Structure formats: structure tokens, C-alpha cells
Amino acid sequence: MGFASFLGRVLFASLFILSAWQLFNEFDPSGGPVSKELIPKLTVVKKNLSSKLGVALPDIDARQFIATIIFLKGVGGILFVFGSTVGSFLLLLHLALTTPLLYDFYNYRPGKPKYNQLLNEFMLNTALFGALLFFIGMKNSIPRSQLRKKTPKAKTV
């Protein structure tokens, strides 16, 4: 069971680690190709939040946001491989920040190809979010005494 659990964590985390590696390699002074998609979406979020809160918000730097995504995916994925709850919380934070922002299917009409594509990606990330919540729940449901099995002492005759 131990090896299967470790292998499952490695396969699950590889999605985040490899994605962070790709973003890191594409990162340049402008933020990389992802920034071209992110800048308009961050501007819309800023305008919506400013109007709802009634306060002027500072600009959200796309490079800083992408660097944060790389950190959350990379460090969270590596910690998750080793069974850390902190890693799963970092991955949850990443998914909570990026899923509604990047996969904004709600801005398109149903039936359009872009709508279907974004809705599919949104649902996949929602499933990943649920899997991370399940991992945290299972991790917390096992009593700490069961995590460290005590080895019986050898009897001397």
C-alpha cells in the first residue's frame, strides 16, 4: 500500500511539477506567452473588484502573478509527493486562484467551441481541487499513532 500511495502522489503531482517547469522555461521579461492571456483577464478582475468594493485597487502585475503560480505549482507539487499537507494546501491555493480566472467559460455562450473547451478545463481543475480535499481529509482522518507503526521489541531469553 505504501508504494502504491507514493506512486499515486508522484503521478498526481507530476501534472503540477511539469507544468511549473514549462512555465519557468517560458518565463521572460514580459512574463512569457501566458501573460498575453492573463493581462486582459487580470484587468477585468481588477475592474470588477474595484466596482464591487468601491475602492481603487492597484494594478496586478502579470509577471508577479505568473511567478507566484510557478512557485505554488512547483513547491506544492514537490511537497505533495512526500505526503505533506502543506503541499496540498499550496496546490489548493493555486487552483483557487487560477481556475476561475483562466477558464472563464461564463463569459461565453453555451454551444460555442470556446465555451465547451473552457468548461471542460474548469471541470477538470474542479476535480483536481476535490481530489486534493479528499487527500487532506484522508490524511487528517488517520490517527497519528497509526502513522508510526511501533516495531515490537525482540524478547531475550
3-state secondary structure the chain: CHHHHHHHHHHHHHHHHHHHHHHHHHCCCCCCHHHHHHHHHHHHHHHHHHHHHCCCCCCCCHHHHHHHHHHHHHHHHHHHHCCCHHHHHHHHHHHHHHHHHHCCHHHCCCCCHHHHHHHHHHHHHHHHHHHHHHHHHHHHHCCHHHHCCCCCCCCCC
Q: Which amino acid is at 4?
A: A
Band of the pLDDT at 8, cuts 50, 70, 90?
very high
Residue 21 pLDDT exceeds 60: yes
Average pLDDT in the chain: 89
Percent of the chain with pLDDT over 90: 56
pLDDT over 90 (residue 152) = no
Q: What is the mean pLDDT of residues 2-17?
A: 93
CB 90 within 8 A of CB 75: yes
Neighbours of 75 (CB within 10 A): 19
pLDDT score of 74 more than 90: yes
Q: Could you identify the residue written with the cell 513547491?
A: 75
Q: What is the mean pLDDT of residues 82-98?
A: 95
| Average pLDDT for 68-94 | 96
Is pLDDT above 60 for 4?
A: yes
CA dihedral 146, 16, 76, 141 (to 10 degrees): -30
What the block records as the C-alpha cell of 99 is: 481556475
